[in-house]
């Protein structure tokens, strides 16, 4: 059986659409599937829609499709919803996809057949990114370039649309980290992997949940979660500044002995400014990592489930 994990936040209009679209394709391809909807603390009636889908699946008594629903006690974020879905999936393979149908369900069949050929990870990569505004596009490009440099794992065309074998799911779930970057982690675990291209579709309905600011925060969080490169950068910057400072100190001393000490005033001000700013920057970055450590050691659950339904 194939499990399909669908994180949903304020997607009431898309729940049934996704159900019908996926069901049709799974029935045609004769792949028994299980839909695992995770309601990530939606403010609309997404949960009621999920219950409706489960009831419908029960009534239709289709062998092709089963519906599971998981209800979070509040919004925990997409990453948490994906984890919860994977933890509650019972299929031999799991696909994670958005339930706004931006990830074309037709691709599921190809993913499934690649899995049958023995691949344990089938990454959906974006052939085209769909309609996006240019600022967002540039930001995303920059983020992925940084990530690729920092982690040595190419994620430039990665998406959250992917099929994972049960083994891979198990290894991801066994990771103790709280701040996880799903896109990066599934590349990091290794396993026998292949790619499949897809075109990002237009959103069926509703609107994107990502504000500009939340995207910036997402980028910073994931760079920190996946690499210590920013800390190394600061250390190097610190070393270079120190080198410059030594040269300037020698020059100041020479000036002093030659009796032109007042001229050094500019240098002092400059030094103060430069060193001050470097120290502040370093403290900020170190502090950021400490905050992350704090979050990890608290060992809080990544999500809290309030209800589970099953048809």
Chain residues in the site for Mg ion (CB under 5 A): 98, 100, 102
CA pair distance 95, 272, nearest whole angstrom: 55
- Judged by beta carbon distances under 5 to 8 A according to partner kind, the member of Mg ion, ligand UDP, none in contact with residue 11 is ligand UDP
Minimum CB separation from ligand UDP for residue 9, in Å? 3
Whole-number minimum distance, CB 204 to Mg ion, in Å? 9
Phi then psi dihedrals of residue 93, to 5 deg:
-140, 150
Q: Give the one entry of Mg ion, ligand UDP, none that residue 8 binds, where binding means its C-beta sits below a cut-off of 5 to 8 angstroms depending on kind.
A: ligand UDP
Pick from 197, 196, 218, 230: nearest CA to 78: 218
Residues in touch with ligand UDP (CB under 6 A): 7-9, 11, 40, 75, 77-78, 81, 98-100, 102, 208-210
Packing angle of the helix pair 265-297, 229-258 (nearest 10 deg): 160
The distance of closest approach from Cβ of residue 263 to ligand UDP in the complex, given in angstroms and rounded to an integer, is 57
Give the separation between CA 311 and CA 175, rounded to whole angstroms: 30
Instruction: Give min distance, CB of 97 to Mg ion, in A.
Output: 10
Residue spans of alpha helices (H) in the chain: 12-29, 46-60, 78-88, 106-116, 134-151, 166-173, 182-188, 212-226, 229-258, 265-297
Nearer to ligand UDP, 215 or 231 (CB): 215
Cα angle 213, 215, 221; round to 5: 105
Q: Give which of Mg ion, ligand UDP, none residue 40 binds (C-beta under 5 to 8 Å, depending on kind).
A: ligand UDP
Query: Which helix (H) or strand (E) element contains residue 94?
Result: strand 93-96
Q: Which is nearer to ligand UDP, 84 or 168 (CB)?
A: 84
Looking at the Cβ atoms of 81 and 94, the one nearer to ligand UDP is 81
Q: Which is nearer to ligand UDP, 82 or 234 (CB)?
A: 82
Tell me how far apart the alpha carbons of residues 281 and 208 are, in angstroms, rounded to a whole number.
33
From the CB of 40, what's the least distance to ligand UDP, in Å?
A: 4
Q: How far is the CB of 129 from ligand UDP (least distance, A)?
A: 10
- Pick between residue 97 and residue 187 the one whose CB is nearest to ligand UDP: 97
Minimum separation from the CB atom of position 53 to ligand UDP (A): 14
Q: Which does 209 bind (CB under 5 to 8 A by kind): ligand UDP, Mg ion, none?
A: ligand UDP
Q: Which does 99 bind (CB under 5 to 8 A by kind): Mg ion, ligand UDP, none?
A: ligand UDP
CB nearer ligand UDP, residue 72 or residue 115? 72
Question: For residues 293 and 179, what is the distance between their CA atoms, to the nearest angstrom?
Answer: 10
Q: Are 106 and 22 in contact (CB under 8 A)?
A: no
- Tell me which of ligand UDP, Mg ion, none is bound by residue 4, counting a contact when its beta carbon lies within the kind-specific cut-off of 5 to 8 angstroms: none
The CB-of-214 to Mg ion minimum distance in angstroms stands at 14
CA end-to-end distance (rounded Å), the chain: 15
Residue 198 touches which of ligand UDP, Mg ion, none (Cβ within 5-8 Å per kind): none
**Which CB sits closer to ligand UDP, 34 or 100?**
100
Displacement of CA 48 from its chain's centroid (Å): 27
CB-side neighbour CA atoms (13 Å) of 187: 21
CA 265 – CA 242 distance, rounded (Å):
19
**Closer by beta carbon to ligand UDP, 119 or else 161:** 161
């Amino acid at each position: 059986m194939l499990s399909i994990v669908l994180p949903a936040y304020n997607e009431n209009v898309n729940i049934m659409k996704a159900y019908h679209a996926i069901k049709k394709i799974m029935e045609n391809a004769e792949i028994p599937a299980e839909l695992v909807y995770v309601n990530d603390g939606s403010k609309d009636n997404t949960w009621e829609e999920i219950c409706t889908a489960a009831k419908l699946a029960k009534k239709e008594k289709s062998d092709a499709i089963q519906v599971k629903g998981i209800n979070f006690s509040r919004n925990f974020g997409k990453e948490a919803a994906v984890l919860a879905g994977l933890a509650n999936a019972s299929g031999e393979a799991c696909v994670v996809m958005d339930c706004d149908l931006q990830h074309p369900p037709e691709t599921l069949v190809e993913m499934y057949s690649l899995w049958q050929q023995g691949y344990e990870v089938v990454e959906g990569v974006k052939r085209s990114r769909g309609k996006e505004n240019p600022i967002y596009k540039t930001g995303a490009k920059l983020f992925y370039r940084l990530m690729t440099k920092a982690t040595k794992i190419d994620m430039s065309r990665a998406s959250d649309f992917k099929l994972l074998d049960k083994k891979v799911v198990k290894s991801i779930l066994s990771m103790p980290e709280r701040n996880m970057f799903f896109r990066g982690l599934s590349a990091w675990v290794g396993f026998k992997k292949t790619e499949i291209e897809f075109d990002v579709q237009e959103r069926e309905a509703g609107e994107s949940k990502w504000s500009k600011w939340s995207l910036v925060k997402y980028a910073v969080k994931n760079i920190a979660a996946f690499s210590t490169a920013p800390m190394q950068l600061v250390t190097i910057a610190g070393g270079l500044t120190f080198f410059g400072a030594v040269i300037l100190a020698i020059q100041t001393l020479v000036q002093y002995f030659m009796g032109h000490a007042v001229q050094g005033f500019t240098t002092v001000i400059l030094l103060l400014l430069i060193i001050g700013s470097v120290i502040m920057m370093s403290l900020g970055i170190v502090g950021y990592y400490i905050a992350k450590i704090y979050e990890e050691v608290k060992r809080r659950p990544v999500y809290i489930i309030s209800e589970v339904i099953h048809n």
